Amino acid sequence: MAGRRPGPCRCALFGRSGVPLSDVVELRPVTAQNLDACLALRVHPDQEGFVAPNVRSLAEAYVHPEAQTRVIHHGSELVGFVLFHPVEVGRPDQGHCIVRFMVDHRFQGQGIGRRALRAALDWVSREHHTDVVQLSFRPENVRARSFYRAAGFEDTGEVSEGEIVMRWTVP
């Protein structure tokens, strides 16, 4: 993507009134300094069956060197985690997947997840020069379908390992 600058991904969106939403949502690398906070993040108990714990995601990233992890910051608070992976190993031109995306239960319902997803899409499209991002979720996770549709993801009609696949294309 020509004209995009390197560096941390920051996404400050505006509310319906045109007033900036408070604080910046930013993706940062997982480091030794933020690892414990990352591992302490939890979704609501009713969401636990839909999102693997962050320790599992970090282990998967460790054994798959093409995977990338980021923590999500809202202002100075570490509030979430995201795991990216190429759609096809060795073929980054085929797009990337958001394999895991989670916002801690304490920060849900505040618009942070929406801004974090926007930051994640901006980051992966800029860092990997991709116009396509995919993700998948279990069919019974109706909140996820609604959330991702609102962010511009479209149903592909595909099901992978029992999960519905959606695709976002750079507008």
Provide the 3-class DSSP secondary structure of residue 143: helix
Among 107, 1, 126, 113, residue whose Cα is nearest residue 44: 107
Residue 7 has a pLDDT of: 39
Which tokens in the block code for residue 40?
A: 């302490």
Which of the two residues, 7 and 29, has the higher pLDDT score? 29
pLDDT band (50, 70, 90) for residue 24: confident
Q: For the segment 146-157, what is each residue's pLDDT rounded down to a tens digit?
A: 999 999 999 999
Contact present, 165 and 158 (Cβ < 8 Å): yes
For the entire predicted model, the pTM comes to: 0.83
Q: Looking at the DSSP assignment, which residues form a beta bridge with residue 157?
A: none
Other CB atoms closer than 10 Å to residue 111's CB: what's the count? 15
Which tokens in the block code for residue 37?
A: 């906070």
Distance of alpha carbon 42 from alpha carbon 131, whole angstroms? 30
pLDDT at 133 over 90: yes
Mean pLDDT of 50-58: 96
pLDDT at 8 over 90: no
End-to-end CA distance of the chain: 12
What is the domain partition of the chain in residue ranges? 9-129
CATH code of the region 9-129: 3.40.630.30
Which tokens in the block code for residue 46?
A: 């009713």
Q: For the segment 72-100, what is each residue's pLDDT rounded down to a tens digit?
A: 999 999 999 999 998 876 666 678 999 99
Using CA atoms of 38, 43, 48, 51 in order, give the dihedral in degrees to the nearest 10.
-60
